[in-house]
Chains A and B, each alone.
Chain A
Amino acid sequence: MRFAIPIVLMLGVLALLGFGLTHDPREVPSPLIGKPAPAFALPGLGGTPPQLANADLKGRPVLVNFFASWCAGCRVEHPVLMQLAKEGIEIIGIDYKDTDADGAQWLQRHGNPYRVVAADLQGAAGLDWGVYGVPETYVLAADGTILFKQIGPVTEQVWREKMAPLMAGAKS
């Protein structure tokens, strides 16, 4: 009987991996969609001046991206964000549950696609925004309403099919 233990263990691990494969966390609904972005005021990364608050996000559609230096998924979406920044899309970065130094180092190493980077080192703003895990990206309309929330990395496909039309629509 004890010789069958390995196969039982393996089936457990396989079930887990199968779960990871099929489970799509993007389906988690966000109660904030269609509502104004929660109020927040954050310092810039590294304690640098550009304070960031709700008023700064109004007047044009923007992307708000929660990221962290410790987050592997952020590295996956990073090239896509870099490309978007190159195309002139305004992205606001919020460094979530991180340290100033690590966040700055990460941006230094991988490049900085953000117009402004705010530091949410304790994750308090993230809590208000309903951040479930980084990376998460919000599409905000000109009036500050949350139009869409992407849980997990932004892929080119997601951008093309879901976010770009919203951004274009919000502009007009």
Chain B
Amino acid sequence: MFAELGHFALILALAASLLQVLVPAYGLVTRNGRALGVASSAAQAQFFLMLTAYLCLTYCFIDKDFSVAYVAANSHSALPLMYRISAVWGAHEGSFLLWGLMLSGWTLAVSIFNRRLPQDLAATVLAVLGFISMGFLLFMLITSNPFERIFPVPLEGQDLNPLLQDPGLIIHPPTLYMGYVGLSVAFAFAVAALITGKLDSAWVRWTRPWTTAAWAFLTMGITLGSWWAYNELGWGGWWFWDPVENASFMPWLAATALIHSLAVTEKRGLLKSWTVLLAILCFALSLLGTFLTRSGVIVSVHAFASDPARGVFILSFLALVVGGALTLYAWRAPKLASEGELKLFSREGLLLLNNVFLVTACFGVLLGTLYPLVIDAFGLGKISVGPPYFNAIFFPLMAPLFVLLGLGVFTPWKRGNLRDGLRRLRVPALFALVAAIAMPFALQGKSSLVIAAGVWLALWTLATAPIELIKRIRAKPTFAAGLLSVPSSTWGMTLAHTGLGMWMLGVVCVTGYGIERDVRLGAGQEAELSGFVFGFEGVKESKGPNFVSDLGTVVVERNGSAISTLEPEKRLYPSQGSVMTETGVDVGPFRDLYVALGEPIDKANIGGDWSLRLYYKPMIRFVWLGGVLMFIGGLCSMMDRRYRLARAPATQRSTGHAEVLA
């Protein structure tokens, strides 16, 4: 019954989204305020319908209703409740439902917080969002209905992919989707600006918090994904340049460029058409990511034939939405003239350079992701593009970006004085240089040019990040008054840039000083790695709710005193016949010790010798700490007072409007 209710709610949501598009469009043409107002109500109705559909599917999972095909394919009677709830987004159909729910959630938020916007702009934004939602609802109803029944009803489900049975995977996809989908709000604002022809600093102040919020969630989603891969895949890595990862990273790079170009547009009224183009690009990339990961085109050029309808649909939708927006751009953008001129050595000039590097990096990643397809299209064979390519193009592009960041926070808007800037930058630059040479030797006893360069970039960023903050505090007579006067967007910027520096420090240390060793150990034997002694105490069998596992025990000692006991596991999930590695990790602020259980040397005897992989991962926590700081920084920026003040005058206008209508 609940499956049918959910299906029905989806159909009603489609109807609501149609209203959300058509009625405001009519209102816009005829200048009918009442029709424009329908956008909000339709958006709110749509959200509640999506929520109903989502809860219905969740209920089917909790209830173990294997007569629903999607539940039967992704659940199992022994699956713990927590994973039954998260299994809703464990595969294709459900993740689109979550996508749709979040889109309607963002739309709801826009309809609530933007009541103070000029009515035509608000209605246009909602109509664009409604159009996107309509596309996704049609996609779900036509090609991937999560509520489809199956007959005969299977007695047992096929279980959730064991890779997804991990706490990290419960929060990772929703956070990432929040970011992906949030970019649609920036897109809708951009399209609305093109349609209404109004792109002033007020528009930027309305757009910025939404974009920053989406960016923050995207950052957090990627960070969580990396953390999950580290814990679950057992390879000790935190980033694999996998097409699926790239699909989330490309929009992140574009969105990072966008939040910076929005700053230029707000402060200086420059780069207007570029900002609009970036907003379109961000959303195009997040749709492209959906296409790439969902159609199977990239995972394997071959795999596709299994379900062509889905790929064709997403591709057509992408063509329609992005093609429509870009056509509109080609037609209307010439009117978005920028005021004033741009000097290269000024904050806006440096931010423009930041955009150049970010967008180039983004296209580099896009190229690497699509390259196998290009080669195939021109009949040149088949290749797989791996990490060497991505590292070779990505890091050289990132290095100047870090240098620019330090320069940028020093340089005032409009015009900077190059000589003055360089003079004042001497101190942090030299400090970073000395520390970059000394620190690796002090901590690790060895260094190299690449490591020193990387540490310099990280320390340079860390040293320059708080400059704006310090400047603002110093401008006030007392420290306390200064601290109170700092706007939260400055806190946000400082935190995010500090996070970036932390990330760099982590990346450099873990790549430069990480140690990996494959060993063969029997119970009672030991292996040594970077001063730590790993004592293997053997493997015993243990049993979980829906898996059996070989549970190893490894005691780590240093200088004779025990530090920690690790329990790496190999789990067999009988329902899918797959084996998962659960790593044992001793977490420390400056180093992780990481043990992954390999195979027993003699397969019949798990009490015998085992192959184990031992890792020493210095500073790896900094990689994720950096991501978390960027996330918090994003949230701080979003809360800035001036975004709320910007709406105050508009309030009176729209109330006036409402009275006229009433």
Contact = CB atoms under 8 A, between A and B. Distances in A.
A7 B291 CA distance: 18
A152 B386 contact: no
A19 B376 CA distance: 9
B306 interface: yes
Interface in B271-298: 273, 277, 280-281, 284, 288, 291, 295-298
A82 B304 CA distance: 20
A75 B300 CA distance: 9
Contacts of B329: 3, 6-7
Contact of B302 (A11, A108, A152): A152
A151 B295 CA distance: 18
A147 to B, nearest CB: 20
B347 to A, nearest CB: 25
A25 B323 contact: no
A160 interface: no
A153 B301 CA distance: 10
Contacts of B377: 16, 19-20, 23
A25 B334 contact: no
Interface string A3-43: 11011001101101111110111100000000000000000
B302 A73 contact: yes
Among A11, A83, A108, residue most surrounded by chain B Cβ atoms (within 10 Å): A108
Contact-size category for A: 35 or more
A23 B376 contact: yes
A76 interface: yes
A23 B295 CA distance: 13
Contacts of A14: 315, 318-319, 323
Contacts of B302: 25-26, 73, 135, 151-153
Q: Which of B280, B306, B381 gathers the greatest number of chain A CB atoms within 10 Å?
A: B306
B303 interface: yes
A50 interface: no
Contact of B312 (A7, A21, A24, A25): A21
Contacts of A53: none
B391 interface: no
Given A3-B333, A25-B301, A111 B376 contact: no
Most central of A70, A86, A111, A153 by chain B CB within 10 Å:
A153
B236 to A, nearest CB: 11
Contacts of A73: 299-303
B294 to A, nearest CB: 12
Contacts of B202: none
Contacts of B381: 132-133
Given A20-B297, A153-B303, A108 B323 contact: no
Query: What interface size band does chain B fall in?
Result: 35 or more
Contacts of B243: 72
Contact of A111 (B284, B297, B323, B578): B578
Contacts of A13: 288, 370
Interface string A127-138: 000001101000
B326 interface: yes
A155 interface: yes
B157 interface: no
Contact of A76 (B235, B299, B311, B312): B299
A71 interface: yes
A7 B376 contact: no
Nearest to B363: A9
Interface in A56-87: 70-73, 75-76, 79, 82-83, 86
A161 to B, nearest CB: 12
Nearest to B292: A17
B373 A25 contact: no
Interface string A74-112: 011001001100100000000000000100010011110
A70 B389 CA distance: 14
B374 A16 contact: yes
Contacts of B305: 24, 26, 155
B464 to A, nearest CB: 34
Contact of B299 (A6, A21, A72, A132): A72
Contact of B577 (A86, A108, A153): A86
B323 A7 contact: yes
Contact of B599 (A16, A76, A108): A108
A72 B384 contact: yes
B373 A6 contact: no
Interface in B299-345: 299-306, 308, 311-312, 315, 318-319, 322-323, 326-327, 329-331, 333-334
B297 A21 contact: yes
A21 B295 contact: yes
Interface string B344-386: 0000000000000000000000000010011011000111101
B330 A4 contact: yes
B187 to A, nearest CB: 14
A137 to B, nearest CB: 11
Nearest to A158: B305
Contacts of A108: 598-599
B384 A70 contact: yes
A18 to B, nearest CB: 6
A71 B298 CA distance: 11
A152 B303 contact: yes
Nearest to B243: A72
Given A17-B297, A19-B377, A70-B384, A7 B327 contact: yes
B585 interface: no
Contacts of B579: 109-111
Contacts of B454: none
A70 B383 CA distance: 10
Nearest to B308: A21
A129 B533 CA distance: 48
B6 interface: no
Interface in B567-609: 576-579, 581, 598-599
Contacts of A70: 384, 386
Given A3-B273, A16-B373, A10 B326 contact: yes
A110 B312 CA distance: 31
Contacts of B298: 20, 72
A6 B301 contact: no
B323 A20 contact: no
Contacts of A82: 577-578
Contacts of A151: 302
Contacts of A135: 302
A10 B578 CA distance: 40
A157 B306 CA distance: 9
A17 B295 CA distance: 10
Contacts of A152: 300-303
Nearest to A155: B306
Given A3-B333, A70-B386, A111-B577, A23 B327 contact: no
B384 A76 contact: no
Contacts of A20: 297-298, 301, 304, 373, 376-377
Interface of B: 233-235, 243, 273, 277, 280-281, 284, 288, 291, 295-306, 308, 311-312, 315, 318-319, 322-323, 326-327, 329-331, 333-334, 370, 373-374, 376-377, 381-384, 386, 518, 576-579, 581, 598-599
5 tightest Cβ-Cβ pairs between the two chains A and B? A152-B302, A73-B300, A133-B382, A7-B326, A4-B330
13 contacts: A6-B280, A6-B329, A7-B329, A10-B323, A14-B319, A18-B315, A20-B298, A72-B300, A76-B300, A83-B577, A109-B233, A133-B383, A152-B300
Given A10-B326, A111-B578, 10 more contacts: A6-B277, A6-B326, A11-B323, A20-B298, A21-B295, A72-B243, A76-B299, A82-B577, A108-B599, A109-B581
